Structures are given as structure tokens and as C-alpha cells.
Structure 1
């Protein structure tokens, strides 16, 4: 399991593409209906122009075209949001399905070392869901400590602990993926849960979805 965005999306099932095609067909159908309505309106306005004057008819037609354009943007936005939700759902499911695999353990080493470097503290406490905590063996922690030392030339001591009390940074489910790291004081926090990473990568993910699924 790789942490790059292309790899995150590469394992997604064909359901997302099926959803994309369905949404595209819905959008095209709506667009055709709007275009037909616009043509009917244009014909009616041409007739009205003979009575009310060409200038007034053009103004009304321009307003109608603007309304149609807004409606089409709304349809496309709704299509993108539905597809975005479907893909993120599959990404989360993919991580949960692989949460006990060696690949996930290797991924945790990267996420832990990244967060430890970000905190810049000599002693760091790792919090995780019960499912992930069981994977944080002394061997895994030593690997992460070595990665930190190799990258920044400083030693760090990593330890694990469950949350004492639920807060906005706690895990909602026992199999939630990712980790949260805190310094000794508990005031400095580096949130590297899967959900936090998806939020940080939101723009890149949407860009990839647009290129991969939404291009006509």
C-alpha cells in the first residue's frame, strides 16, 4: 500500500467509474432538457420581439441563458460531489481491509516518522485506534525512530498510549486508520489519521478525480 495519491485511487473498484457514467448521463439529460427549453424560449422571444422590440427580447434571452448556465453548473457540482463521496468511501474501505497487512504496518512507519519530524520533540507519544495500536510493536517503533534519525540526524523516543479521554482528536471506530502524535506536554499535536490526511490532500484528490473520472 503506497501513500501517493495515484496509488490511493488506483485500487478503487469499477463502482466509481460506473457511478461517474451514471452521473454523466444524468447531467447530459438535464443539459439536453435545458437546451430544449432554451430553444423554445428563444423561439417565443423572437415572436415577442415583433411586438415588444428586439432589444427587450434580447435582454430577456440573456437572462434566460444566465439562468441556464447557473443550473448546469449546479448539476455538474452535484455530480462531482456525489462521485467524490463515493471515491472517499472506497478509499476508507480499502484502508480498513488492509489494516492488518504488512503493507499497512510499513505505511505506519512513514506516517509516524513524518509526524515525529513535524513535532520536533525528543520524546513523542503515539495515540491510535485499538486496531492500529496492536500493530505498533517495539520493532515498528524502532524502525520509525531510525527513519527520523536518518532524515534529520536527531534521535527521537517513541511510545504508545490510548486516549485518556475522548476529544476532537480521538478515534471514532476501533479500526480507524492512522495515528496522532503528541509531545510530552500534550499541547503540540500532529494529526496523521487517515481522515486528517484526506482533508489535507482535498485539493489534490479533487484534481485527480476531475482528470480521472470527470473529463468528457
Structure 2
């Protein structure tokens, strides 16, 4: 199997995050030309520098006007990757409707709008998460939005065929998301490693490798790739 993306034009949404940045770097090394989009221009510019320069654009997946503008500026692309997410955690009785809406904008409504507006030759790749298959107290919205995305890729793969549509569902990954834990981070990740069948926590390289597989394997569509070390069973 070849992971060669030479000549491909790829739009990466969420291009300033740790996982999206690792995917962008891996895709660049595989020969792709990149368009980076998201809400934080500073972080997009940082990623662009890592890949030797890339087009950047701002987009909010909860605002259809910006999605349409992104589609117009990006033009036709071979692949679209969206790592977008928005947290709405906490007990159900304490959740605000705005936070719930933002979570579904990122994982469900936004991907639908991207499919509506963008011209794509090859595939879409969206990001779900292990909590969609292993819910926990205080994670009702996250579990539901991630689970809904799993069904969405199945439906879109039929609707958009022969354009392929897939998702990756990462487990716990050392992507920078946990850095705010400070000194507790190492113990947390060690605990994750001890609890999952793979006996390790994930890295951004693990996810980037899976992403390149999803982009280049032309017989994979309507599929959620669980890159979680078996965490959905742990």
C-alpha cells in the first residue's frame, strides 16, 4: 500500500491543534499541498511554517457563511480533514444550550455544511472520539456528538459516492490537550497506558499514520477507524 499523496491538495480544518498539526506535517512529507483553516490564525500560521508554507483561512463550522467563503477560497481539493471539536462537559442539569449547540456544530452540523459547500475529488475525514463508544458521567454531549458523527460518515459515504467519507476515533492521545494538568499529566497518561489493551497511550504520530491510511486507501469508506489502543473496551 502506498501512502503517497504527491500532487494532492488537502484542506485541514482545525489546523492549529496538536493532532491536526501532526497530520499536516505527515501529509506534507507525503507530497501534499495544504490549505489550513480554523479559528485561530496565529496557530494556523505556526503550522503553515512547519510545512514550509501553506494557504490559511479562518472558518467557524457553526457559521455557514464562513463555510461557504472557505469553499470559494479553497476551490476544488482532493481531501478534507476536520479535527474540529468543542467541549460541552458536565452534568446534564448544568449544561447550557449554547455549549451543546457548539459541540454539535463541530461534530455534526459543521461536517454536513462542509459536505454541502466544498468541492472534493477524493475523501472527507472527520474526527470522532472514544467517548462515543464508552460514555461516562459528565460526558453526555461529547458521547452523543461523537457517536452521531460515526453514523453521519456512513450516511454521507452513500450520499456523496464515489467521494469517500471516513472518521477516526482517537483514544487518549498526548496531543497537548492534557498539558494543563501540569505535574499530574504524567501520572494520568501512565494510568491510561496501564488500563488499555495496547498498554500505552497514543501519540499524534499514531493518529497521523491512521489519517494517511484513510486518505490513501481507496476501498475504505463509511468507516470509523478506532485508534484508541482498545480504550473503548477498557
Mark yes or no: TM-score above 0.5. no
Higher relative strand content: 2
Q: Compute the TM-score of the two structures, normalised by the length of structure 1.
A: 0.26
Q: Compute the TM-score of the two structures, normalised by the length of structure 2.
A: 0.24
